[in-house]
Amino acid sequence: MSNITKIKIKNLFGIREYEADGSSLELSGKNGTGKSSVLDAIKYALTNKSDRDYIVHKGENEGEIIVETDTGLSIDRKVRIGKAPYKSVKRDGLEVGSPEAFLKELFTPLQLNPIEFMNMDKKQQNAIILDMIEYPWDMNKIKEWFGEIPAWVSYDQNILSVLNDIQAENGDYYQNRRNIDRDIRNKKAFVEEIANGIPVGYDVEKWEQASAGDIYRQIERMQKENQTIERAKLLRDSRDSKIRKFDADREIEITALDREIANRANQIDKSIASLNEQIRAYETEKEQLASKKSDKLEVIEQTYKANVARFDAEIAEYAEYADKQPQDVTALQEQAQEIEKMQSHINEYKRMLRLQSEIEEMQAQSQELTDKIEKARTLPGEILTNCTIPIAGLMVENGTPLINGLPVSNLSEGEKLDLCIDVAIQNPNGLNIILIDGVEKLATDLREKLYQKCKNKGLQFIATRTTDDDTMTVVTL
């Protein structure tokens, strides 16, 4: 580190003239005595920036700040009213190219006021501490680790914060895994529901090839034959009753015929008495009645015989079935119903197989995301093992820096002051200077600890403290 060996200020801010060597100093006095102007001038020399509207001392045309170090660096800035400012940054007597960029590499912003670190929020403090951990990485390294560049992560932060964002619960890996796991649980529930409705040992190939149609056709043939058997038995068993019916029909017709003929003969006899002239005709008709009766008797007999013959023929047609027993189709019906029942499960069974396949794929995706999350969680430990830790007792847990096991917010005021200095001095090749404005805000013991911390680290420091003195007092520490 470079030590400042000379500071010379003329007509800048509230200072007429001021000169100091590289000693550590405390500047004290009332407001307006020039304490902060010394610090503002040094800051202006290093940054070419100032928060003040007026840089040149009131009543003067030009102000100047010169800073020199023990490594041959010299900085000379002049601010001139009505003219362009003058700037000279030399190293070993030679002007430095891109001087502003060169100077920016020599210090950290917190060197110019380390106590600002105590007033930052936790996120800012954590980011600064993590940025101090030097570990070479780029997008190729991220792709090597995770096979891709996670799109939801901001890569303008340190690697540990990047890894923490990758594995965070609001990150895509975590959210996607949670969604996949939820879908897996739902699909498993569907599979279980389907499985509960499918018989144990279900053989989908067997039931896909089985056919109930052939069995139903066999059942239909058997039932038709059973009907024929029943018809045959009925015909055979009813012959006597049928013949009796035919006999009765014949006797009824004969009786009716006898009654008809008798009635007719009676009528003729009555007509003979009054119709003598028709006697011959009636007698002839009477003689023919016997022949007519004979003809009609023949017709009746033929009808009788025809009915008997037709019925016997029907019995003969079913004769081969009359002694058979009806076949029992119960087993075949149960077999066909079993096929239909089993085939009703085929679609759900195949759906279950598809869901199980999808579950396996989703489990693989979930495991892949888990591996990436675990990778992001374990990498910080590997990184901290292989990199230089800039602060004693620093470790990182879930993306949060811990000092001796505690987050910054849990540190005591003294520990926070120590941390302020550690955070401010990060550049081993930079300026060995700390500017501390307003130490009167610290308790006396904390202020003394802060000074001692700087001394123990071999730092040059300039502190300002507001007191009741009318003039600025310079105390070498």
| pLDDT over threshold 90, residue 419 | no
Q: What percent of the chain is modeled with pLDDT above 70?
A: 97
- Taking alpha carbons only, the member of 420, 451, 425, 459 closest to residue 106 is 425
pTM above 0.75, yes or no: no
Q: How confident is the model at residue 275 (pLDDT cuts 50, 70, 90)?
A: low
How much is the average pLDDT of 18-41?
A: 91
Higher pLDDT, 99 or 287: 99
How much is the average pLDDT of 110-133?
A: 80
How much is the average pLDDT of 136-160?
A: 89
What's the pLDDT score for residue 186? 92
Q: Alpha helix locations (H) across 203-343? A: 204-209, 212-237, 239-274, 279-317, 319-322, 330-343
Q: How confident is the model at residue 278 (pLDDT cuts 50, 70, 90)?
A: low
- Of the candidate CATH numbers 3.40.50.1470, 3.40.50.300, 1.10.10.10, 3.10.129.10, the domain formed by 4-132+416-476 belongs to 3.40.50.300
Q: Give the three-state DSSP class for 249.
A: helix
Torsion angle defined by CA atoms of residues 90, 434, 131 and 157, in that order, rounded to the nearest 10 degrees: -70
pLDDT tens-digit map of 325-350: 888 888 888 888 988 888 888 898 89
How much is the average pLDDT of 16-32?
A: 91
pLDDT tens-digit map of 345-373: 889 889 999 999 999 999 999 999 999 99
Exposure of 91 in the CB half-sphere (CA atoms within 13 A): 9
Composition of the chain by helix, strand, coil, percent to 5: 60, 15, 25
Distance separating alpha carbons of residues 371 and 6, to the nearest angstrom: 57
| pLDDT over threshold 70, residue 427 | no
Instruction: Please identify which residue in the block is written with the tokens 């390294």.
Output: 141
Q: How confident is the model at residue 53 (pLDDT cuts 50, 70, 90)?
A: confident
DSSP bridge pairs for 78 = 64, 86
The phi, psi pair for 291, rounded to 5°, reads -65, -40
What's the pLDDT score for residue 109? 82
What's the pLDDT score for residue 428? 63
What's the pLDDT score for residue 139? 92
| pLDDT over threshold 80, residue 1 | no
Domain edges within the chain:
4-132+416-476, 208-340
